Amino acid sequence: QSALTQPASVSGSPGQSITISCTGTSSDVGSYTLVSWYQQHPGKVPKLMIYEDRKRPSGVSDRFSGSKSGETASLTISGLQAEDEADYYCCSYAGSSTLVFGGGTKLTVL
């Protein structure tokens, strides 16, 4: 149950696109189509942004997209906006009904 690996921080200017990576292993990210992504603003409750690698819940902007290649999943935010500044966490199914989160990435909008 080792945490997934995310960059500690990423940044971008308004209107740009950024990508946050999430690297796991063949026991979690690489084995299942069950990576999810969460946005958390300071002092707020996490919000689901992507599930099952690339699906977007109703109400989430289509500027958010998910993808995966092998053991690395990615969250891309296009047309960056000031309100996107937050912490982002990936999470993967890890077998036997267990889950594992990434360490989180702080997104700064310059």
Partner 1 sequence: EVQLVESGGGLVQPGGSLRLSCAASGFTFSSSWMSWVRQAPGKGLEWVANINQDGGGKFYVDSVKGRFTISRDNAKNSLYLQMSSLRVEDTAVYYCARAPLFYFDCWGQGSLVTVSS
Strands 86-93 and 99-101, by their bridges, are: antiparallel
Select the span of 11-19, 46-54, 66-74, 78-86 touching partner 1 (CB under 8 A).
Answer: 46-54
**With the C-alpha atoms ordered 95, 97, 103, 106, is the resulting torsion angle positive or negative?**
positive
Work out how close the CB of 28 gets to partner 1 at its nearest, in angstroms, rounded to a whole number: 11
Q: Which amino acid is at 85?
A: E
101 binds partner 1 (CB under 8 A): yes
Q: CB 83 → partner 1: shortest distance, Å?
A: 19
Among 51, 66, 73, 86, binds partner 1 (CB under 8 A): 51
> In 3D, which of 40, 94, 48, 97 has the Cα closest to residue 71?
94
Residue 87 phi, psi (nearest 5): -95, 140
Region from 14-22, 66-74, 75-83, 97-105 binding partner 1, contact rule CB under 8 A: 97-105
CB of 96 to partner 1, least distance (A): 7
